[in-house]
Amino acid sequence: MLNSGIFYSEVSRRLGINRSTLRAWRTDPSSVDKHQDSACPRCEPIPRPPADAESYSYLLGLYLGDGCISRTGDGSRGVHRLRILCSDSWPGLIEQCSSSMASVHPGRRVNTALCTGCTEVYGDWKHWPCLFPQHGPGKKHHRTIALEPWQQQIVDAHREALVRGLIHSDGCRVTNRIRKKLPDGGEKWYEYPRYHFTNASRDIVNLLTATLDRLDIPWRSHVKATTGVHDQTVVSISTKAAVARMDSFVGPKY
């Protein structure tokens, strides 16, 4: 555009790139590559999905489960901060969360802050809402959470990563111990590991269960012991084969 005689101000307006950046690029074309490392794939003239789709699918699971985007800074210098709260009960989670955030937003710092019982992993970028269009005011369970077609395509290609992210953020792997009496009067303890996922948003629960269905992993909604009523906000994965399958890509060693 510049070579064809269009003014800097007009190129800047059309592309949303400020004039000083355009001048720097014209002086040193190799600097364009450096910029593109941190450019937003959704804001390009032809929007594309994030390059590291598997990390994105995992990060989406973490964000929907227990993440939030908030505005930080002020005025035109303000950026968005993506925060993911990592529970200390999954030791490898902080590292995996940090590395997936760095893959989705290359070339920028990912930080951590210690909280009580958990660690917050966060990164600042003004384009986080472009990558997570589910961002909006208020709590997630008070609004509709629906994936955009490009997000659904990524999730369809990386279902396990999404489930891993959802369980790491809002799930747990627990072991139920049951005592059984033996005919000789003795007793024996049986252990049943299972996965639970709890989220107040029906849309997010449905996203998990639909993805489990496509992975052929059986699940059921939790039944409250006191009332016998199905609790639609809690998903339980408890058959032996299903737990083994979940262990192969979610836990228990993360």
Interface residues toward Zn ion, by CB under 5 A: 40, 42-43, 127, 130
Q: Cβ contacts of residue 243 below 8 Å, gap of 6+?
A: 193, 194, 195, 237
Question: Is 147 or 250 the residue whose CB approaches Zn ion more closely?
Answer: 147
Count of other CB atoms within 10 angstroms of residue 126: 15
The minimum distance between CB 44 and Zn ion, in angstroms, equals 9
Go through the chain and tell me how many residues it has: 254
How far is it, in rounded angstroms, from Cα 31 to Cα 245?
A: 46
- Which two three-digit tokens encode residue 38? 């941190």
Minimum CB separation of residue 136 from Zn ion in Å reads: 16
Closer to Zn ion by CB, 82 or 250: give it.
Answer: 82
Alpha carbons 115 and 66: distance in angstroms, whole number:
14
> What is the closest distance, in whole angstroms, from the C-beta atom of residue 64 to Zn ion in the complex?
19
> Which CB atom, from 44 or from 231, has the smaller least distance to Zn ion?
44
* Residue 96 DSSP class: H
Smaller CB separation from Zn ion, 53 or 118: 53
As measured in angstroms, the least distance from the Cβ of 130 to Zn ion is: 3
